[in-house]
Structure formats: C-alpha cells, structure tokens
Structure 1
Amino acid sequence: MKVMIVEDEMLLAMELESEVEMAGHQVTGLAMSSIQAREQIGKSKPDFAFVDIHLMDGPTGIDVGRELSAAGIPYVFVSGNIKRIPEDFAGALGAIEKPYTMNGMKNALAYVSAIIAGDCSGSPPASLVLAERDTFPKRRFG
C-alpha cells in the first residue's frame, strides 16, 4: 500500500514513516503543510494517508482530508485534539489521538490496511476512533 504522511512535527513523521515501512508499505511522500500535501496528492497518488490537523500553515489538515476524501483516498486523522475533528470526520476513516504508542499505530495501520483491502471482519484496535461507517468512501469500501 502506498501511504502519504501529512505531519508538521518532523520527528513524529519520521517515526511514522519507519513504522509504515516496517509494516511492508511504501511511504510515497511526507508533507508538513497543506500546500505540500496537495502537491503530494497529485504527484504520488497514495492509497492511504495519515493526516495531522494542525500543520505548518495552521489548522489546515481538515481541508487536506476533505481533498483526500474527494479524490477517493482513505485517510485517518492523527491529532493531539480529536475533538477538533468535524462531526462528519471530513470523510476520514477515523482518528488516532496523540500521543500514541508505536504499537497502537502499528495495530491501527494493520486494521486500516485490511479494511482498504476489503476485509472488514477484524475489530478496530483501541488506538483508532472510527468514524461512522457511512462516511467511508463508497468507491473503495462499497
């Protein structure tokens, strides 16, 4: 799976990149601002994205999420304040609250990877707060 990471804290982005790669996935790009994220969406065409809400250019992660959703790219918010996520989750599959453990992130990545592959039989890990099922992109999760 090709994964994009949208995170303005470089250390967290690098740790997440390492975790994604250790899980056997490819990181197609790192973005620290909404402008960089928009460039990555068009250039790298990810299968999935992790998106922080507050980026270098302000609380623009929700806008990035809406663009990902409109493009049919599933994503999960990663945020220190998940209460800032809109009620409709802006089309996200769910959210992971910071601070998170690497084990929690690994479990969430495995669950999301299975969902994207069409296997909805697993249970979500405690580290992942799910959005309502009907907010999932229909073209990916029919």
Structure 2
Amino acid sequence: MSFDDGRCRAAKRVLVAEDEILIAMEIERALASGGFEVLGPVGSVEEALQLLHRERPDAAVLDVTLRDGKVTAVAALLRSRDVPFVLASAEGRALTESGFFRGVTNLGKPTDMSRMVGEIRRLLG
C-alpha cells in the first residue's frame, strides 16, 4: 500500500510472464521497487491463463515465447479485459509492426528495467 494525501490506495498489479527465471526475478525486483505488486512471475501460457482466471492485473509484462508456446492466448485474454501490456522479447521489430502484436511496445532483451517501469506507468496513466 502507498499513501497519497492521507488516502490509502492499493498498488497497481502487474502480471509477469517470463520463462527465464533470472530475467523473471529481475523484472519482479524492478517492478516491486517501482511500487507495483507483481502477479507471478509465471513461466508458461497455462500458468498465466490459470492465474488470470483467479486474478485481474492492471497491466502485464509478457515474453512472447514461454515454456509451452507463444503468449498470444494470454495477450488475447488481457485485451478482452482491457488490460494493457508490454512485451519483453528478443524477437525483432517485425513482431510489433504487423499481426496480433501490432503497435504493442516491445522493450526487447536485454530489457532496460527503468524503461520498463516507465512504460508500465505510462500505460496505467
């Protein structure tokens, strides 16, 4: 919880879907340091979908390829719930220039953690 002018408000919750544990831990630390509550991290599409059936994040950071496949189903569910997300993927610019992920910010890998936190803040406006 954080305090703002004497009023208490809950931290914004951010889903992290990343299958590389060290990267997931780094993302989790950066988001927590930025004042966010982290949901996960989860390393598979199945885990992410299960979590989303129990929880509603305010935003998400998604790797495109998880242990059990592409994160597209997770991104589609987030979109259907109007939950903004960014990608943290080593896949190139072509990923976000056309198709399903068109227009989505891809922070790339290695991910600049301060840029990621700033982008999440921007999405949550």
TM tier, shorter chain? 0.7 to 0.9
Number of residues paired by the alignment?
A: 113
Q: CA deviation at 1:43?
A: 1.5
* TM-score, structure 1 normalization: 0.71
Q: CA deviation at 1:77?
A: 0.9
Gaps of 5+ in 2: 1-11
Alpha-carbon distance in structure 1 between the residues aligned to 2:94 and 2:49: 21
Residue identity over aligned pairs, in percent, reads 27
2:52 corresponds to: 41
1:105 corresponds to: 113
1:4 corresponds to: 15
Gaps of 5+ in 1: 118-142
Preserved contact between residue 80 and residue 97 of structure 1 (Cα < 8 Å): yes
Larger radius of gyration: 2
In terms of fraction of residues, the more helix-rich structure is 1
Q: CA deviation at 1:23?
A: 0.6
Name segments (4+ residues, structure 1) moved above 4 Å.
Answer: none
From 77, 88, 91, the equivalent of 1:67 is 77
Q: Within 5 A, what are the aligned runs for 1:94-133?
A: 94-100=105-111, 104-117=112-125
What amino acid sits opposite 1:85 in the alignment?
L
Other structure's SS at 2:86 match: strand
Other structure's SS at 2:61 match: strand
* TM-score, structure 2 normalization: 0.79
Of residues 47-56 and 61-70 in structure 1, the stretch that sits farther from structure 2 once superposed is: 61-70
**Root mean square deviation of aligned Cα:** 1.9
Of residues 12-21 and 66-75 in structure 1, the stretch that sits farther from structure 2 once superposed is: 66-75
